[in-house]
Structure 1
Amino acid sequence: MALSTGHVASQLRHLIYYHLDNNLIRNALFLAGRLLAYEPRSFEAQYLISLCHLHNGEVKAAMECSQNTGSRGLHLGCAYVFAQACLDLGKHLDGITALERSKSTWASKNNWNKHSETSRQHLPDAAAVYCLLGKLWQGHKDLNKAVDCYVDSLKLNPFMWDAFLGLCSTGVNIRVPNIYQLSPELMSIISASPDDLDSVPGVFPPAEGPFPAQATGHLGGDPFMVPAARGDADSTYGSSALWEKFNGSSVSVATVAAPVIHEGMETPSGQSSGSEEFRIANGVTDPDSAWEPPLAPARRNRTIQSMSMDHTGQPLLRCDQLVEPPPAPRFGDRKRTVSGQVAHPIPPQPTEPGAPQRRSVRLFNQIKPTTSKLSTATLTGRDGREVKKVRSAHAKGRPATTSTVGRVVSGNRKHVESADNDGKEPRATSIPSTSSVPPLPRNAERTKELEALNWLLGLFTKLASGYSALSRYKCPEAVQHFNSLSQGQRETPWVLAQLGRAHFEQAMYAEAAQYFSRVQTLAPSRVEDMEIYSTVLWHLKNDVELAYLAHQLLEIDRLSPQAWCAIGNSFSHQRDHDQALKCFKRATMLDPEFAYAFTLQGHEYVANEEYDKALDAYRHGINAENRHYNAWYGLGTVYDRMGKLDFAEQHFRNAASINPTNAVLTCCIGLVLEKMDNSKNALIYYERACSLAPHSVLARFRKARVLMKLRDYKFALAELKVLKDMAPDEANVHYLLGKLYKVLHDKGNAIKHFTAALNLDPKAAQYIKDAMESLDDDDMEDDDMA
């Protein structure tokens, strides 16, 4: 017997997927090599071996195996693996080109709700490809097109969390609740039966864009637009560009790119944006070629096409229908239907009303007496081939009458035969059981699916709202969103880490340490976000905990940049800046895109007064992440120490534009203005900093100092009294109070506070004694004048 080559390849493919699903990557890779040797020209074989290499961490091998087919867009799987490898290797344009060339193979795919414990879709759909395209464009520093792709991905699948994170990282304004709601697309997939998912009209995006124009009204607004009436800093992102994008129209870069650049794109010259126009219709194909033929028999194809329009000529899956799905759709109930007439085309007479959307046997029997024998015979003759496929062997010769349809649906097959033998219509008393009983389990199941989907969308709304607020450094709002989660969802490592970050950004280090400690308790092997925890411990001067954390992270994963950042912070706390620099450099070698390690490296160079190297480190951090405000702050600090106040002010303002709620950045702008002898404007920034952080000692101290420069002693004294209660052990506060009382000729209080400052800071004894001696000199001058 001749060997069946198709069956051999099929068995190998099954074995490869089996080993991949069981995480036996080396076995899968070995079998993929056998399959490629057996079918060297097979695109599927090339895809599988490149996928196995990618799962095994062999990125360059994955790129080599998929390059020939993937770079030309001949196979979707090869193009997707090739693009993923390009993303890891920094060859962003090559990956973008491959995915664009294969667009015809993925533009109309939507695999949402098609994965289960027993079935899977091994090739990506449009949402996954758009998400990868967004990452590639962002890696190429073209944030306009990155936003474009992330939005398209989220519109097709709101649960594409990577796309949402990428969107937040670009700095655009997002109205989260309008993303996570029941859209017509999700409703259409839930409402359709599993057998019809591949070809139900409305599931895939039309030619105008991923959302039909009539659906945008249902969404209730653009999730990427803030009303223009708002007067805060976010109003610059309230352009209607992304609203037009949601409607599928084109918009120029000028309407969107400028606000995004204003937010956080003040980057070094490495950024490039070569697009002349927002490519809004990335997922749009020609209307005639937008639909891929489903992998189903021709009979099913005709069925779905006939159901795409109702008797008025309108699409069957309209928005109003999708919001409230029909109570008993019978599209896929083929197991219990003899002739399949409910889900199949009606007789060719155009005058028969309502037939395409019949939902029950009662409706069917109401229409039946008006139909002629010719139409019944035509229907029976045309569907005779289908009847043979689904009817039992002993019923092959009987014609498919309407009474047969009704009785078979009800499941009473014995009564059907008697009805056929008698040649009579079924009585009305038998109709309720056929029309009401079978749909109940199906309706109940879909109701539960919708309830579960609605719950998930609500959960994602809270998570996304919290993360979006945190990405824009609205920390109290982020904490509020995360705390609104249920206890089970809130007490998870990811949420607790975000709460720790939110408190860290507010300089609430003790609270942040508590959250990160709970993260370690729940997930002892977690390394993500632990670099922030190490900085928190550095600020708290908790040397023992910091050293223990560094040792623990090194044991968990010595190749993680977070571990080396923790070790570097531990050395930095011990004032061993050279060793700290070595650790931070190791972190940047392990992950060249880890911006925080570059920033910490710059801080150590500043501590060593190596300002040129510090500038270089901060610039590398901005190049890795242009919205990393810490690096902009570092540049401002270096220029301030070098005496280049104009450059310092510019970079402090860039940092404050990214994080407008940070009181320290606002104080830095005021400090530079104060050094430039612009005390009035400096006072404005100090007042703003005090409003942002009412408990900030630094902001109030600088405000009191500039008030003394402006000779506004009354308000300066009020600020210093408040400050003394907030920080009673701060020597500088008592020293400034002594100077103020000296100006006010209150010698007793002046000596009191100078003495307190001397006791709190003996190192500054010389300055304080000079101030006290000058106080005595002033008294002598007053006596001479008298």
Structure 2
Amino acid sequence: EEAVSRDKLPRHWMADFFTAHVTLEAQDNTHAIERYEALLARWPRSPYVQSQLALAKYNLREFDEAQTIFEGLLSADPYRLDHIDTYSNILFVKEQKRALSTLAHTCVSIDKYRPEACCVIGNYFSLKGAHEKAVLYFRRALKLDAHFLSAWTLMGHEFVELKNTAAAVDAYRHAVEINPKDYRAWYGLGQTYEILQMSYYALFYYRKATALRPYDARMWCAMAGCYKQLGRTQEAIQCYTRAVKNDDSEGVALQELAKLYKEEGNKLQAAHYYSEMLKQREDMSGPETQDALLFLANFHKSSGQLAEAQHYCSRLLDLGGPEKEAAKALLRDISSTRQQCSQHGTSASASHHPTSAAASEL
């Protein structure tokens, strides 16, 4: 975008289309949305502008908004198959099997020899768990267009599911050769080498993906996982911290930071991240939640914050599980500690007021 601003483009509406396209290609999706929304105000019925806006929102994982735009495009022009594979990706992620099935039938009835249609069918079979059939249709898409980027990347995902790591690496490498800015292929290569327990290779490819998507928490979490496997705790902590700053909606980074700080013996930071994790997962009741509650109960008890410790113990009792007995024992300790404190307080007040004690004896 800086290079575009340095070049003196003519003041023409086509220059606006060019800068918007460059911004989207550079994965600067937030600014791309702003530019395409401005273009949409001038060309409200343009399918191209609407589809590019949907792509930008898809890149930011704003799936609901992107889906709404794609559905509007389909209703306006039912025979339009441009970027229909991206729409099928959204339905796949949201696990809308019926909608994906309907879309696949529609694509076949319009033009079954379009690579986009083959990718839609491949996504449908992948969602059903029929990964061999999915690979067949992705191969068919590549026979129709050997440079169809989406098919290479999706086929790589299917080979990962089939545990065929060599074929997955080959597919992802083809995708990277076609478009070196495709972060999904770099990320897929990282995942594949991580499966092969080749952490240094995985780290190299995750770095490539992170350079393309520095605002994506998943990239930072993946890189942190590699550092963790390599025993480089400080680098892992730095990466997980970056993931938290980039809105880690899944809560993986908070949980891992709490564990790493706990292992490092930094109880204060561990307690901070465990409490942040619980705020994010208020309605969840897995083993990670129970571990967090037990740690926080012990931490606040040792810090003398008995009310907070009792609160976390009560939450543990509500959840049940193996930590329930530990919570009961902690509550008994808290109760006895309070009794001791009250007794010490009474004896201390008696020693400070000898005249009142003497008066009571008289």
The bucket for the TM-score relative to the shorter chain is 0.7 to 0.9
Distance 1:618 1:492, change over 3 A: same
Q: Secondary structure at the match of 2:163?
A: coil
Residue 737 of structure 1 is matched in structure 2 by: 292
1:679 to 230, 233, 239: 233
Residue 100 of structure 2 is matched in structure 1 by: 546
Contact in 1 for aligned 2:313/2:328 (Cα 8 Å): no
Contact in 2 for aligned 1:474/1:661 (Cα 8 Å): no
1:663 to 217, 236, 253: 217
Distance 1:526 1:619, change over 3 A: same
Matched, 1:178 2:10: no
Distance 2:59 2:262 in 1: 30
Q: Percent identity?
A: 23
What letter matches 2:315 in structure 1? K
Distance 2:201 2:317 in 1: 37
Residue 470 of structure 1 is matched in structure 2 by: 24
Contact in 2 for aligned 1:513/1:533 (Cα 8 Å): yes
1:633 to 179, 184, 187: 187
Residue 347 of structure 2 is matched in structure 1 by: none
Q: Secondary structure at the match of 1:485?
A: helix
Residue 659 of structure 1: how far off its partner (Å)? 2.8
Distance 2:198 2:314 in 1: 38
Residue 781 of structure 1: how far off its partner (Å)? 12
Distance 1:554 1:703, change over 3 A: farther
| 1:280-291 aligned within 5 A | none
Residue 743 of structure 1: how far off its partner (Å)? 4.5
Distance 1:753 1:461 in 2: 60
Residue 315 of structure 2 is matched in structure 1 by: 752
Contact in 2 for aligned 1:690/1:696 (Cα 8 Å): no
Residue 755 of structure 1: how far off its partner (Å)? 5.3
Distance 1:778 1:695, change over 3 A: closer
Task: Specify which structure has the higher proportion of helix.
Answer: 2
| 1:45-444 aligned within 5 A | 174-176=3-5, 178-181=7-10
What letter matches 1:691 in structure 2? K
Distance 1:713 1:543, change over 3 A: farther
Distance 1:754 1:529, change over 3 A: farther
Distance 1:690 1:490, change over 3 A: farther
Distance 1:729 1:580 in 2: 36
* Residues 81-124 of structure 1 deviation map (CA, whole Å, 9 limit, x = unaligned): xxxxxxxxxxxxxxxxxxxxxxxxxxxxxxxxxxxxxxxxxxxx
Distance 2:40 2:63 in 1: 25
TM-score by length of 1: 0.38
Distance 1:174 1:518, change over 3 A: farther
Distance 1:704 1:460 in 2: 51
Distance 1:606 1:523, change over 3 A: same
Residue 543 of structure 1: how far off its partner (Å)? 1.5
Distance 1:683 1:528 in 2: 42
Residue 514 of structure 1: how far off its partner (Å)? 1.3
Matched, 1:573 2:127: yes
Residue 304 of structure 2 is matched in structure 1 by: none
What letter matches 2:22 in structure 1? S
Distance 1:709 1:538, change over 3 A: farther
Residue 586 of structure 1 is matched in structure 2 by: 140
Residue 644 of structure 1 is matched in structure 2 by: 198
Distance 1:706 1:503 in 2: 34
What letter matches 1:737 in structure 2? A
Distance 1:750 1:647 in 2: 44
Distance 1:592 1:488, change over 3 A: same
Residue 652 of structure 1: how far off its partner (Å)? 0.4
Equivalent residues, number:
325
Distance 1:502 1:672 in 2: 29
What letter matches 2:94 in structure 1? L
Distance 1:675 1:612, change over 3 A: same
2:156 to 572, 580, 602: 602
TM-score by length of 2: 0.79
Q: Secondary structure at the match of 1:593?
A: coil
Distance 1:707 1:490 in 2: 52
Q: Secondary structure at the match of 2:181?
A: coil
What letter matches 1:752 in structure 2? R
Distance 1:462 1:517, change over 3 A: same
Distance 1:632 1:564 in 2: 23
Matched, 1:693 2:256: no
Distance 1:476 1:716, change over 3 A: farther
Distance 1:574 1:751, change over 3 A: farther
Gaps spanning 5+ residues in structure 1: where?
Answer: 1-171, 182-453, 759-767
Contact in 1 for aligned 2:316/2:324 (Cα 8 Å): no
Distance 2:250 2:7 in 1: 36
Residue 736 of structure 1: how far off its partner (Å)? 4.2
Matched, 1:530 2:49: no
Distance 1:576 1:752, change over 3 A: farther
Matched, 1:561 2:125: no
Residue 481 of structure 1 is matched in structure 2 by: 35
State the superposition RMSD in angstroms: 3.0
Contact in 1 for aligned 2:40/2:50 (Cα 8 Å): no
The structure having more radius of gyration, on CA atoms, is 1
